[in-house]
Amino acid sequence: AQTVTQSQPEMSVQEAETVTLSCTYDTSESDYYLFWYKQPPSRQMILVIRQEAYKQQNATENRFSVNFQKAAKSFSLKISDSQLGDAAMYFCAYSGRGMLTFGGGTRLMVKP
Amino acid sequence: GAVVSQHPSWVICKSGTSVKIECRSLDFQATTMFWYRQFPKQSLMLMATSNEGSKATYEQGVEKDKFLINHASLTLSTLTVTSAHPEDSSFYICSARGASGEKIYEQYFGPGTRLTVT
């Protein structure tokens, strides 16, 4: 079975600074996707970024980027120029053909 | 595209009654939908996988007779909490899986339903 671990229950960042959220996973599959979801106080799950395992290039979406280390099974999220609206729960998720396995989440606080 | 709605967004019911939550894919057909439960400050816990036209697959520890799931069409899945008790109070989230190609790796989430049982 796949497992996803987020070792940082809480993180804090100063507005406009950069923060990195960690995620590791365990799998024996070769084809899979990895995701970072944001869950703000509204509790709507919002897709932040996705990474296809077969792609070596790290995914980037505006201020959000990932560091995907396939051999190490590591998938960290970097948020640049942090904004107050980035404050939320962030979940790392693994997908093997559509079944999502979530990490425990990291609560990100942004200080003005 | 890939919008999923849930109704109601918030429901309060009395202990012993049943409540139905609807999950709809608005602009795509979803052969597979998922139901999650989330406790405060915790991650999402998969309750069951719902396939159109067939019986749902429940995760270990989830009571099939308490949480009835029906996926009667390609755009609608329902979760009925039967004989609700206060411990069933929680946030319930549905999602729909992409239909084909690489989209099957993704899930599109509804906004969730907050259930309070008094």
Successive 10-residue mean pLDDT values, chain A, 112 residues: 93 98 94 95 95 94 97 97 98 89 97 96
Cβ contacts of B47 on chain A, cutoff 8 Å: none
Query: How far off is chain A from B105, nearest CA to CA, in Å?
Result: 4
- Give the Cα separation of A80 and A19 in Å (integer): 7
Query: For residue A70, which of A55, A83, A48, A90 has the smallest C-alpha distance?
Result: A55
Question: In whole numbers, what is the pLDDT of chain B averaged over residues?
Answer: 93
* Res B102: pLDDT: 67
Q: Could you tell me what percent of chain B has a pLDDT over 70? A: 97
Long-range contacts of B40-44 (CB under 8 A, 24+ apart): B40/B91, B41/A107, B42/A104, B42/A105, B43/A91, B43/A102, B43/A103, B43/A104, B43/A105, B44/A45, B44/A91, B44/A102, B44/B93
Q: How many helices (H) and strands (E) does chain B have?
A: 0, 11
Cβ-defined contact of B107 to A103 (cutoff 8 Å): no
Categorize the per-residue pLDDT at B42 as very low, low, confident or very high, splitting at 50, 70 and 90. Answer: very high
| Residue (of A18, A31, A46) closest to A97 by Cα position | A31
What value does the mean pLDDT take over residues B106-114?
A: 94
- The reply to whether B26 touches chain A by the CB within 8 Å rule is no
Contacts of A33 in chain B (CB under 8 A): 102, 105-106
How many cross-chain Cβ pairs, A to B, lie less than 8 Å apart?
A: 51
The pLDDT score that the predictor gives to residue B52 is: 86
Rg of chain A, C-alpha, whole Å: 13
Task: Report the gap between the CA of B86 and the closest CA in chain A (Å).
Answer: 21
**Residues B51-75, mean pLDDT to the nearest whole number:** 92
- Report the C-alpha gap between A38 and A46 in whole angstroms: 5
Q: What is the mean pLDDT of residues B1-18?
A: 94
Task: Quote the pLDDT of residue B105.
Answer: 80
Select the more confidently predicted residue: B100 or A95: A95
pLDDT of B103 over the 80 cut: no
User: Is the bond preceding residue A9 a cis peptide, omega within 30 degrees?
Assistant: no
pLDDT at position B98 over 90: no
Average pLDDT over residues B30-51: 93
- Chain B: residue nearest A35 by CA? B106
